[in-house]
Amino acid sequence: MRSGFGRRSLATGMTAVAAVAAVACGGSPSTGNTSSTPTIGVVLTYNLPGFWGNYLKYESQYESQLGVKLVGPKVANVEANGNEAAQQIIDVKALIAQGVQALIINPADSAAIGPALDYAKSKNIPVVTVDVAPSQGSVYMIVRADNTAYGSKSCDYIASHASGPGTIAMVEGDLTSLNARDRASGCTSMISSKYPNFKVKSYETKDWGTDPAVQNATTALTAISDLRGIYVHWSVPEDGIIAAEKQKSKYSDVGASNHIILVGNDGSPHECDLIRSKTLDATIDQPADKYAYYAIFYAKEAIKGTKYSEGQKTDHNSTIVNVQGNQEDALAAPLVTLAGDNGSTQVTSTDLWCNNH
């Protein structure tokens, strides 16, 4: 059984790829494409600024370093006019028709991606999903962090730092995504088991929409008299939430006695800046750099036929786990705070991708 992992550290890789940062995503490596260069199709849901914009930048860097040719990305949110799940089936079939040897997919919907995965399997094209795990269909590997831990860490932080018992408003992502469901269950389970004097009020946000998310948070600011914190499942709505707090005269800096704790998820450069300015309390580092690196790495290993097993330890501080019948490289995703106290990672750490973008 072969079980190789990437032996070069991400920090080393970052230095090595600096010279090729200008290579466009989906373009040929700087050495030129040859028949021996593995071709990997990329199917994403979003290419928005923030997490996904940086993911694409890292993908273009690692394309050359890992010696592959990326085809795409095909971005469903740009093409689909609101039906991203159906568009991804079209995109998968189109890339396979172009002759790719493997696929990297960020599913728009954990269940609805099933037909696309079934089609790829019928054509013997291995698939790596990144960021989102499928709940239907089989894949070679999932590159993702423990999203249940995202929710539990975020809400544990809010409850343990609040001025007193009360309510946490949870602005959820789209619950068709396993990520949103895991983050929600992590939060509610943490509060119910550890903080009986707190309760969680949940607001689902369809399609991970920024404006609806901000409106959900604004509703919470108005309707919840004992609001102690807001947990938002992703980073993009945070500026709008902060603006809503200011508009309703409910904003104060982190550490003030009447501060409403705000925790997000992504670990984007902008979030780290907000933490430094004492505007955002904390975030979960969702490692865009490692997501891009290991998505390509595993797609290349799939083409080679490398096998992995559940429980296997990696050389990058993670473990191969089982997620609904598929193997996942469960990458580390620490809580990030200003001080780095109580087991969190300090926002100045050079291990964070927000400081290496």
The residue among 131, 146, 45 whose CA lies nearest residue 88 is: 45
Average of per-residue pLDDT across 127-146:
96
Q: How far is the first Cα of the chain from the last one, in angstroms, to the nearest whole number? A: 36
| Nearest-angstrom CA–CA distance, 255 and 261 | 9
State residue 35's pLDDT score. Answer: 54
Peptide bond into 165 cis (omega under 30): no
Q: What is the pLDDT of residues 220-273, one digit of tens each?
A: 999 999 999 999 999 999 999 999 999 999 999 999 989 999 999 999 999 999
The residue among 167, 151, 119, 139 whose CA lies nearest residue 283 is: 151
Q: Is the pLDDT of residue 19 over 80?
A: no
How would DSSP label each residue in 123-189?
TT--EEEESS--SSS--SEEEEE-HHHHHHHHHHHHHHHSSSS-EEEEE---TTSHHHHHHHHHHHH
Average of per-residue pLDDT across 162-172:
97
The pTM is what? 0.84
Top-confidence residue, 78 or 338:
338
pLDDT band at 6 (very low <50, low <70, confident <90, very high): low
Q: Is the pLDDT of residue 74 over 60?
A: yes
| Nearest-angstrom CA–CA distance, 274 and 208 | 21
Percent of the chain with pLDDT over 70: 90
Alpha helices in the chain (DSSP H): 10-17, 51-65, 76-79, 84-97, 114-122, 147-161, 178-194, 210-223, 238-247, 269-276, 288-304
Q: Is the pLDDT of residue 25 over 60?
A: no
How would DSSP label each residue in 319-343?
EEEEETTEEEEEE---EEESS--TT
Average pLDDT, rounded, for the chain: 90
Block residue for tokens 């080679």: 304
Give ∠ CA 319-148-106 in degrees, rounded to 5.
75
| Nearest-angstrom CA–CA distance, 204 and 189 | 17
Q: Is the pLDDT of residue 184 over 60?
A: yes
Average of per-residue pLDDT across 140-148:
96
| Nearest-angstrom CA–CA distance, 103 and 125 | 7
- In 238-269, which positions are buried (b, 16+ CB within 10 angstroms) versus exposed (e)? bebbbebbeeeeebeebeeeebbbbbbbbbbb
State residue 78's pLDDT score. Answer: 86
Q: What is the pLDDT of residues 187-197, one digit of tens each?
A: 999 999 999 99
pLDDT band at 155 (very low <50, low <70, confident <90, very high): very high
Domain architecture of the chain: domains with CATH: 10-139+288-331 (3.40.50.2300), 147-286+336-355 (3.40.50.2300)
Q: Is the pLDDT of residue 326 over 90?
A: yes
Percent of the chain with pLDDT over 90: 84
Q: What is the pLDDT of residues 275-325, one digit of tens each?
A: 999 999 999 999 999 999 999 999 999 999 999 999 999 999 899 999 999
The residues, any chain, with a CB within 8 Å of residue 256's CB and separated by 6 or more, are none
Q: CB neighbours (10 Å) of residue 98?
A: 11
Joined tokens for residue 111? 């269940």
| Nearest-angstrom CA–CA distance, 99 and 273 | 42
Average of per-residue pLDDT across 142-158:
97
